[in-house]
Amino acid sequence: MPLSDEQMEKAKRYFSLNGVVPDCPYCSTHGWDGGEIISATVLDEQGNARPESVAMAQFSCRNCGHISLFDARRLGLLSG
């Protein structure tokens, strides 16, 4: 699910309030582009898929394309 303009503003506000600086850890370029909200399967200790998943918002470096993932619920991008 692509990030809406409203979700991008929420993410920027969260980053600002929590000291998250959008600098790439690989090429040091300042600035991220928003991408999608994606989901990852949670695994148990044996590597089996559990029924829940983790929603993540992806942001990519404007220069090199490195992707950073953040908990979409903690950012306030999803309800529930």
* 2-44: pLDDT as tens digits: 899 999 999 999 999 999 999 999 999 999 998 899 999 999 9
CA-wise closest residue to 78 among 39, 21, 22: 39
Q: Count other Cβ atoms within 10 Å, centred on residue 75.
A: 22
- The 3-state DSSP class for residue 5 equals helix
Distance CA 39, CA 43 (A): 13
The pTM score is 0.82
pLDDT of residue 1: 77
Higher pLDDT, 80 or 57: 57
Contacts (Cβ under 8 Å, ≥6 apart) of 20:
14
